[in-house]
Amino acid sequence: MARTRPCEVCKKTIENERAEGSPDTRLCRQHAIEIDKYGGEFLMNATQEQTSKAGSLKLNYGGVTTSRRRNDEGLRKLRDDFLNRNESAE
């Protein structure tokens, strides 16, 4: 069972199913959907490995290395949207 934690945007508890399915998440289901308009919660990067010798005309490629990083800019924009909506509702 994943440890429960609050959403970084609304501070509500992240659903257990979501926390177990995506242990790195910091967003509740609602805000995970909303952050898609800013590129998603995580940004993926893929690099194809080249195994040929430098300067060779023969291009040999190996596997693909992937990495992901948190979309901090998207998260900041999502927080700003949330705060603006709550301020205008008051």
Concatenating the DSSP letter of every residue in 5-20 gives -B-TTT-PBPPHHHHH
Q: Of 49, 45, 43, 30, which is closest to residue 72 (Cα–Cα)?
A: 43
- Predicted TM-score (pTM) of this structure: 0.73
Specify the pLDDT at position 47: 87
List, for residues 1-35, the tens digit of each pLDDT value.
556 789 999 999 999 998 898 888 999 999 999 99
Q: Inform me whether the pLDDT recorded for 41 exceeds 90.
A: yes
Residues 48-85: pLDDT tens digits? 877 777 777 777 677 888 999 999 999 999 999 999 98
